[in-house]
Homo-oligomer: A and B are copies of this chain.
């Protein structure tokens, strides 16, 4: 029997146009529609949704293992991947692991490993040609064993022992830019409120910030470096600890911590931006709704997605065993 593709070729139109003609849509000309319907009659073509699987198999399909779709970083990364693949005519299948369904997931590697196993099994059963793992935050991932029959690219995190291609953000250079900005404003007594301990982002931002301040001859006082836990509430509590000490600027490891600092300042009738320079990180949507809007670092999420897709494309096109990693710098958003 004639296929949809063959029918479309005979009519000199796309398969989408044939599909529209069959479905009686109005977005094609009456002449084209009649030509297609006539050809359907002549050839005896029967629209058959199931037949599509055959055609699909000639297209490559990439499975996206998404740790948590609800994470603010996930949608832009996925958009970057899909934007790239759309141009390359790859298909994508999204698998949402929903790690937030386990409140303790960050300390439960077995849980995450089981989620990944299920995701991989599911995607392989759907015959994907490659897997891109979209992490909730950057860390070293050890979920993928070497026996997988398809290539894996890590997006927004790093591989552990196994050498895998990855794309993440450049915390070091980005933090250096922020440090230089704060110094350029003449600040000498500067505090830092870090993300959680044992977190890769926090570690890199902390070290990079200290290094740049030291290089400029205004080393960070260890008493002015405290840890929060990425949230507004812990940011506020950290502010209470560190801001009594007469600092004029504070670098926060994310925008939520910065929002907590704002809360502390409001409570003390102090004005963020005027009485204290507060800077954030992430360019989360909330950062432009704080009052005043906050200077922050924009995560290159779309770019991470696009680059991850490009790496996968290279792996499949050139059948290479590339294990290259990329770190993309963030953009300083001055406000």
Contacts and interface: CB of A to CB of B under 8 A. Distances in A.
Work out how many copies of this chain go into the complex: 2
Interface in A61-118: 69-70, 74-76, 78-79, 82-83, 86, 91-94, 96, 98, 101, 110, 113-114, 117-118
A49 B26 CA distance: 43
Interface string A103-136: 0000000100110011001101111000000000
Contacts of A19: 117-118, 121
A285 interface: yes
Contact of A94 (B23, B70, B79, B96): B96
A334 interface: no
A13 interface: no
Interface in A267-286: 285-286
A98 B113 contact: no
13 contacts: A25-B117, A26-B110, A50-B125, A51-B125, A69-B69, A70-B79, A74-B75, A82-B96, A83-B98, A93-B94, A94-B94, A285-B285, A285-B286
A49 B290 contact: no
A307 B291 CA distance: 37
Given A16-B114, A79-B70, A289-B290, A125 B94 contact: no
Chain A binding surface SS class: helix
A123 to B, nearest CB: 9
A326 to B, nearest CB: 23
Contacts of A75: 69-70, 74-75
A260 to B, nearest CB: 11
Interface core residue of A53, A56, A74, A286 (most chain B CB under 10 Å)? A286
A88 to B, nearest CB: 15
Nearest to A262: B291
Contacts of A117: 16, 19-20, 23, 25
A114 B19 CA distance: 9
A114 B101 CA distance: 34
Contacts of A31: none
Nearest to A50: B125
Given A70-B76, A76-B70, A110-B26, A289 B50 contact: no
